[in-house]
Amino acid sequence: MLQPAPPSPLIALLGAPHTGVEALAQALRQQIAPGSVRISLHHPHLTSPLPARSSEPDAVALTLLMGLDSPCPAGERTAQEATDAHLRTALAAASIPYRVVYGAGEQRIRNALIAIQKIAPQAYPTSTMAARGIENASKAARLRAWNCEKCSDPTCEHRLFTALVEQRDTPPPSGIAPDRA
């Protein structure tokens, strides 16, 4: 008797308003092989009191959180930052690992595809040119100097911003006048 095929990996896309989460979901659905992954705009285990188990059919294989590098109306920036902080806190409280996706347009899509490739290499079209494009982008990113908009590690991001805030709050050495803007 044939065993049913395991469900395709579930990818949760999360983001504050004006971060392009819906646009990214639509672009990924167009570029990823049908049936190879499932994309959700919410995380089924953020509200559940029980931790996710990898054997559950709705277990999330990858959580992608949109970075705050997309344009946002000035009047909505505070609400956007609060929503982003709430999402990060909820993910941390539920012990859900996640990756932060940065970039504009095609760069954001490419960065998300690189993360997806690690959990679902079958998600790419069979066209070797399309697959090679993603693979080459990943290799090129490793060969050139790394910069933060290509990093999706939330711990690294936290260390970077914490260090920048500490630098800003540290008084300059004696004899050096502080910058005045």
**98 and 61 Cβ atoms separated by less than 8 Å:** no
Amino acid 77: pLDDT: 94
What gap in Å lies between CA 168 and CA 157, rounded to an integer?
17
**R_g of the chain computed on alpha carbons:** 19
**19 and 68 Cβ atoms separated by less than 8 Å:** yes
Structure tokens at 13: 């896309």
Amino acid 126: pLDDT: 43
More confident residue, 105 or 65: 65
More confident residue, 25 or 59: 25
Phi, psi of 50, deg, nearest 5:
-100, 140
pLDDT band at 86 (very low <50, low <70, confident <90, very high): very high
Residues belonging to the chain: 181
E-assigned strand segments in the chain: 10-14, 38-40, 60-66, 99-101
Q: Which residue has 């803007």 as its token pair?
A: 181
Structure tokens at 111: 């960065």
What gap in Å lies between CA 72 and CA 16, rounded to an integer?
10
Amino acid 134: pLDDT: 52
141-168 confidence digits (pLDDT tens)? 444 455 555 566 666 666 666 666 666 6
Domains of the chain, residue spans = 10-169
C-alpha of 135 from chain center: 18
Amino acid 181: pLDDT: 45
Give the strand order in the sheet containing 38-40.
38-40, 10-14, 60-66, 99-101
What gap in Å lies between CA 23 and CA 112, rounded to an integer?
12
